[in-house]
């Protein structure tokens, strides 16, 4: 059973960012499904790592788009991104350090946090920049040209 579903009301005005959101939802749904299917702790840890890495990628792309279109609330948005990554890291740490309570952490805390945060973030925080990025050639170019190497490798 899916934890979250994408719907067109979630669109933020750029296909690339919408696709990123769909991928984040897909990872969250996979995490929920694998957990319900009794996946090993290692498999859940791998999905948590994938979620964190993909979120870092998406956040960096989104912030590049915001810079390109001069979005005035970028600093607040970046703070939300940092808070999300910190929370995922903390929940992952707790999951890894306490196998006996890992099921409760995944089921009651992690999936609830992810669903609530992502719904709020997309529908409120991300929708706030819609008018800045929709039909904005600079925003579109920034989204299309973004590469993961810009955040994970240097040189």
What is the torsion angle, in degrees rounded to the nearest 10, for the CA atoms of residue 87, residue 92, residue 98 and residue 101?
70
What's 109's DSSP letter? I
User: pTM for this one?
Assistant: 0.87
- Please tell me the least confidently modeled range out of 75-79, 96-100, 129-133, 136-140: 96-100
User: How do the domains of the chain map onto residue ranges?
Assistant: 15-145
* pLDDT band, very low/low/confident/very high, at 155 (cuts 50, 70, 90): very low
Q: Do 31 and 47 contact (CB within 8 A), yes or no?
A: yes
Mean pLDDT of the chain: 85
**DSSP helix/strand/coil, 107:** helix
Q: What is the pLDDT of residue 154?
A: 46
The CATH homologous superfamily of the domain defined by 15-145? Hemerythrin-like (1.20.120.50)
Q: What is the pLDDT of residue 31?
A: 80
């Amino acid at each position: 059973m899916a934890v979250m579903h994408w719907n067109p009301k979630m669109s933020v005005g750029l296909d690339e960012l919408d696709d990123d959101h769909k991928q984040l939802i897909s990872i969250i749904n996979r995490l929920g499904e694998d957990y319900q299917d009794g996946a090993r702790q290692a498999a859940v840890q791998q999905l948590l790592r994938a979620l964190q890495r993909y979120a870092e990628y998406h956040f960096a792309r989104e912030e590049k788009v915001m810079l390109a279109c001069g979005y005035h609330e970028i600093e607040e948005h970046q703070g939300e991104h940092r808070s999300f990554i910190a929370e995922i890291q903390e929940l992952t740490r707790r999951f890894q350090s306490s196998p006996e309570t890992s099921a409760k952490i995944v089921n009651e805390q992690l999936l609830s946090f992810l669903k609530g945060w992502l719904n709020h973030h997309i529908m409120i925080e991300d929708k706030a920049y819609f008018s800045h990025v929709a039909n904005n050639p600079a925003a579109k170019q920034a989204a299309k040209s973004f590469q993961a190497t810009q955040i994970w490798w240097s040189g």
